[in-house]
Structure 1
Amino acid sequence: MNLVEHYIKLRSAYPPGKGEMAVTVAELAETLCCTRRNVKHLIRKMEERKWIRWMPGSGRGNRSVLIFRRGLEEMAVSHFTDLLEKGRVHDAMEFLRREELPEEVWEQCRERLHVRLGLQVEQADNRRREVLKIPLYRKLTTLDPSAVSVVAECHFVRQVYDTLVHYDAETRQLRPHLAHAWESDSAHAEWTFYLRKGVRFHDGRLLSAEDVRHTFLRLMEAPNSVMPWLARYIAEIEVMDEHAIRFRLTDSLPFFPRFLGTVNTSIRPREASARRHVGTGPFQIRELSDSRVVFEAFDGYFRERPLLDRIELWLVPGEKKGEARYQLPGEDEGGGEREVLFEQFACEMLVFNFRRPGPQHDIRFRRAMRAICDRRRMVKELGGNDRFPADSMLPEKSRSAEVSPSSLDEARSWLEGSRYAGETLSLYYFDQSEGNCGTKAKVADWIRRRAQAVGVRISPVPVPIDWLYRKELEEKADLFLMADVFDSDFESSWFMFFRNVNLFRRFLDPDRLNDVDRRTDRFVRGSSAEDRRRIIDEVEEFLHRDLTMLFLCHLYKRIKYPRNLQGMTFDSFGWADFRKLWIRPCGGRSDVARSG
């Protein structure tokens, strides 16, 4: 801690309106967490800089007079700005995390930070570089493709890694990617993929079939993998030559190539460790810390090089807003911005934990909770601009459904014959989740108040999003409020929702787990989209009948960006495709056409 931070800590320990204080050296030592000798040294240095005036008391133990000559706000904002100007991003972010900063000072510092975000034009090695700096309001959990389950992290993984195939949402077809072609035998039990030649990892090494083999072995064997179930379908992986690989399956599986386009199957080099993020993607990671993540364009990318040279995510402490911003410096909050209300392929749900004892095992209690969670009332009271009632995981299916209203009287009637005995149930939710799902605290409190009206005691418990990867979640939560954002390949994403070890299945008892696995196994063995859609309807009918979970709402995400920021195409997660972003110089047309 330097002298400025000692002063800020000292000033914040006393009321802001009092500039003169009677203190002892012992009290100051306790406040500053240092020795009396060091306190005297700090006092002398602060006096030399005319930050304070110090009038020592006469005699041992007598109180001295400390007069503050610089305000807390002035010193804190000036220090924070100085850290930013010197490029000390980590120190600046750590400074924002200081508990003693009053809210108004913290807000001023964050305003100074946002001025430095957006587009920055930098000179490096006699080269002009365009850098886009974006705030992120929480720390990342993991960027390991085999383990990633959080929306933002899935998006970032896609910038760094590539998959064998790519799903085209418009045509609903698989497209070649790292593999330029593939084929199967007549039984769809043996699949061969042919890799592009000359594809390089960020470290310069050439992609080979052995890297693909290693990736899938790791997916089946790694303890933190979200796809250990692959071992149920893959019997053998054979490297035929440097650019050809064959998967022998345990049975016929026409759906198999669709797995190979999901973000978790992104290809990594065979020697890579979980902490070394080397891929073949359009961006490579240059820095990964608790304060900043830096992506640099990969000049050797086998497809079109990104138009921006560098993208920085600044991990800003503080509350997450319900909108994503791509703010450029100099842009005002009015005509210089566009706002998009983006409909995420997302569904918010209340999940019952069947791995803990409690009234949630009683269907009558679950029916009471269904009545308590009146979806139309929830939308109306929480604000209908950001959500609409869900009756399915598919938004279009929910729109055509008749979502019947429910009453608290109905809830009371179900409770009368249930096993609920007045106990308090814990309702867990992630307090720093993506996009408008950041309103989960309001949803959890709404459920708490509605339940309280009929005598059900619910205690909302916010937890960090890294609890997604911790067993404490299913060990402690009676209820869990979750929102799953589906990928552009809805069918693969739907299957993964039920098979990902970090999501819904972690709350199921063995009987329900076996039932879900049996139904989803039939899903991936379906020979047509119509067959698979019937199974989706069948599973959702089971969920409605059993009330294993309660559908709540579909979500919108507000995205603001300046008109000069071009190439704004959004993926299913509501993030802009970093590869296509570019900056139109001021004075240019706003309706620029671009090929590709």
Structure 2
Amino acid sequence: MMHNSAEKYLMLLNKWGINAESRAEIEVSADEVASALFCTPRNAKIIIRKLVDEGLISWHPGRGRGNVSRLAFLGDKNELLMNWAQEMARKGEYKQAFELLRSNSDGTMATDRFVHWLNDHFGYQAEHTNGNHSADTLRFPVYMPLLTTDPSRVYCAFDSHVIRQVFDRLVEYDHYTGNILPGLAHAWESNLEATEWTFHLRKGIRFHHGRELRPEDVKFTLERVRDDTPQKWLTRELLRVDCISPRSVRIVLNRPNHIFLRYVGTAGLSILPQELVQADEAAFWHKPIGTGPFRFIQWTQDCCELAANPDYYSGRAHLDRVIIAFMPEETAKLSKGAHWQQLVHNQNQMDQSESDSDRWNKLESLCRGCMMISWNMKKQGPQQAYGFRRAFELMLNRKQLIEDLGEERMYPARGFRPTELTPHMEEESDADEAKRLLAESGYVGEEIILCTYGSNETDARWIERRCAEFGINLKVQTETYFTVRKPRVVPNVDGILFNVIFAVDEVCEIENYEQSGNFLREHLHPRMHQWILEQIDLSLASRDPQFRRRVLDGIEDRLREESHVCFLLHKKQSTFSHPSVKGVGLNSLGWMDFKEIWLQNAQ
């Protein structure tokens, strides 16, 4: 929270300071001060003495009852705001700092100064702890909240990324090679039917509180997910879990699943410490404990702090601390003239007197996913007509959307993933055919509600304007990350504009169709959903990866051909790093792997 003296000073300044020159005295009564501070006259006198002692005001009390006193403001408002905002930022109170500036500054000058000050605040720094030890700290901003640390309830890529820093899985999926790598299990085997999977756990793996990993933790985790959680689809065919030895666990399925290793390599099946979750689940998720490379220190509305796990089984992280600052979403646009949006640098080695921006390394790649609209096929409305949905696609002009809005938007999308052909594909756009289909569909101007959230609102507003040119009465309903999955939202809108990211290729694709609360899944017509589940089971039962790919492509093809979804565009993901910072890369979720980052020539 804001320093109490700062808050009281600003209350007085906002009441009288606008009419007072710096250090010029104004006449006020003690009762008027009390009224401005919303307190009793006695408390007002205590506050006044404190502000005088801190050199913020001068106060000459009037003598006798009813006589006025003289007050002068001694501090420069903008300098004080800047100092107080910086103090809040150092404490991790970023949102309060921006709120302080928004509520008390005139214009944007103070906010702009604060944003540029953040250039020196964010980045990779060697900081001294209370014990005077140097701690390599990475501090960076994000423009979205951390919604959950519970693997069984994760929807967003950012949440999944943080969960992967704190927890481990039985195996790990390498999205670059498509290989399965050992994780908590050093070995595994299955029967020919892929209905029984046995995993052998490593020795000596300990949770952050010190207790060694046991097969019972694996059993508890899978059975917990199988309960009514959004990730229960991962265990849809789970029959039972048997702890067959002190270091081995067998998982038995009702149906074959030849990619089950990819299932157990997802964030949703991160392994939990049984006794801690059962003892106090609410408290556990506020400061979760896993076996991962980082452990939770704190999680507030303003920041999340992680510290390296010194005993991590595959080697300690080079970083000592990671501090993720949750910035107000509207501040993303303020960083355009600053350096601190998605960058990593070493403040201790940067020469502030010389611009070396040309030396910075830029990592850039296409996101493994797309922006899309899911049409609500469970709700009556114009979107039920194929002609309307097809007309909508043809009138969009995705290339114009990309040209107008720019930034990370790269190519029109024809499916979930970009391919080598994506940069060269021609977009389907035909305004005349769109008008003809729209007329044939029987559309007569009914209101269409398109829901979105976060930074997607910019795209939704562009689509709203484009629809108006064709006589489509589309209205944008903006939600937040916290409200978009409320029960009142998904069933009651005609479509949702959102992004999908495929971290584990086939599994993330199936997730769109099976995960409870997933926008696409919740909007599918029951008959379509049942057909898709049958196709998924057919795919999982096959050992042939090419057959599985054809089956899943068949689902995507039908969704596209019947316009159940509207694929919009592919985005790029990027980050910048100073040459002194090594190991920076983007993982399949589009985030930096904290464990691999290190500082060259660190002291």
Distance 1:44 1:75 in 2: 19
2:508 counterpart residue number: 493
* From 516, 522, 533, the counterpart of 2:532: 516
Whether contact under 8 Å (2:343, 2:575) holds in the other structure is yes
Question: Paired residue for 1:305?
Answer: 316
| Cα displacement (A) at 1:24 | 7.8
SS in 1 for 2:151: coil
TM normalised by structure 2 equals 0.87
Q: Can you give the 5+ residue segments of structure 2 that lack an aligned partner in the other structure?
A: none
Contact 2:415 2:560 in 1 (8 A): no
Cα pair 1:12 1:100 within 8 Å, conserved: no
Evaluate the alpha carbon distance shift between residue 384 and residue 282 of structure 1 in structure 2; reply closer, same or farther with a 3 A threshold: closer
1:122 maps to 127
Aligned position for 2:91: 88
Deviation at 1:398, TM superposition (A): 5.6
Answer yes or no: is the 8 Å Cα contact 1:391–1:398 preserved in 2: no
Q: 2:581 aligns with which of 565, 570, 573?
A: 565
Matched, 1:169 2:175: yes
Decide which of 343, 351, 354 is 1:325's aligned counterpart.
343
In structure 2, the CA distance between the partners of 1:450 and 1:327, relative to structure 1 (3 Å rule), is same
Letter in 2 for 1:272: L
> In structure 2, which of residues 567, 586, 603 is the aligned counterpart of residue 551 of structure 1?
567
Tell me the secondary structure at the aligned position of residue 126 of structure 2: strand
Q: Cα deviations across residues 513-546 of structure 1 (Å, max 9, x unaligned)?
A: 2232222222222321111111122112111122
Per-residue Cα deviation, 1:59-107 (whole angstroms, up to 9, x for no partner): 99999986544332111112233445xx5334x6423334514343233
2:265 to 261, 268, 272: 261
Helix, strand or coil for the counterpart of 2:218? helix
**Distance of 2:295 and 2:54 partners within structure 1:** 45
Return the offset for 1:53. 6.0
Say if 2:196 and 2:253, in contact at 8 Å, map to a contact too.
yes
Query: Following superposition of structure 1 onto structure 2, how do residues 573-592 of structure 1 map, counting pairs within 5 Å?
Result: 573-585=589-601
Q: Compared with structure 1, are the counterparts of its residues 22 and 130 closer, same or farther at alpha carbon in structure 2 (3 Å cutoff)?
A: same
Within-5 A mapping of 1:160-309: 160-221=166-227, 223=228, 225-273=229-277, 274=281, 275=285, 276-309=287-320
CA contact (8 A) 1:165 1:179 kept: yes
Counterpart amino acid of residue 255 in structure 2: D
SS at match of 1:311: strand
Q: Is the 8 A contact 2:17 2:73 kept in 1?
A: no
Match of 1:442 in 2: 458
Secondary structure of 1:293's aligned partner: strand
> Over the residues paired in the alignment, what is the CA RMSD in angstroms?
3.0
Q: Provide, for residues 162-188 of structure 1, a one-character-per-residue CA deviation record: whole Å limited to 9, x for no partner.
A: 111111234322122111111112222
Give the partner amino acid of 2:515. Answer: N
Identity level (%): 28
Structure 2 CA distance for aligned equivalents of residues 204 and 67 of structure 1: 58
Which of 433, 437, 446 does residue 414 from structure 1 map onto?
A: 437
Contact 1:235-1:249 within 8 A present in 2 as well: yes
Seen in structure 2, the aligned counterparts of structure 1 residues 389 and 38 have a Cα distance that, compared at 3 Å, is same
Residue 153 of structure 2 aligns to a residue in which SS?
Answer: coil
What's the offset of the Cα at 1:29?
5.6
Q: Is the alpha carbon distance of 1:71 and 1:407 closer, same or farther for their aligned partners in structure 2, counting shifts above 3 Å?
A: farther
TM-score, structure 1 as length reference: 0.88
Counterparts in 2 of 1:415-430, with a 5 A limit?
415-430=438-453
Given that residues 355 and 474 in structure 1 are in contact (C-alpha distance below 8 angstroms), is that contact kept between their aligned partners in structure 2? Answer: no
Q: What SS is found at the alignment partner of 1:416? A: helix
Q: Give the direction of change, closer, same or farther, for the CA distance of 1:546–1:58 in structure 2 (3 Å limit).
A: farther
Distance in 2 (CA, whole Å) between partners of 1:32 and 1:392 is 59
Matching residue's letter, 2:517: N
2:165 match: secondary structure: helix
8 Å Cα contact 2:146/2:159 also seen in 1: yes
CA offsets 1:26-75 (integer angstroms, 9 cap, x no match):
77666544446544554565456554567899999999986544332111
Q: C-alpha separation between the residues in 2 aligned to 1:162 and 1:291? A: 26
Any residues of structure 2 matched to 1:10-89 within 5 Å, and which? 10-12=12-14, 19=21, 32-35=37-40, 38-39=43-44, 41-43=46-48, 45-46=50-51, 51-52=56-57, 68-83=73-88, 88-89=91-92
Secondary structure, aligned partner of 2:528 = helix
Q: Which amino acid aligns with 1:138?
A: M
SS of the equivalent of 1:100 reads: helix
Question: Aligned-pair distance for 1:444?
Answer: 0.9
Q: In structure 2, what residue type is equivalent to 1:219?
A: V
> How far is the alpha carbon of 1:15 from its aligned partner?
8.4
- In the alignment, residue 344 of structure 2 is paired with which amino acid? Y
Unpaired runs of 5+ residues, structure 1, are: 432-437, 589-596
- 1:219: how far off? 0.8
The code of the aligned residue for 2:555 comes to: V
Q: What is the CA deviation profile of residues 173-213 of structure 1, one whole-angstrom value per residue up to 9, with x for unaligned ones?
A: 21221111111122222111111111111111111111000
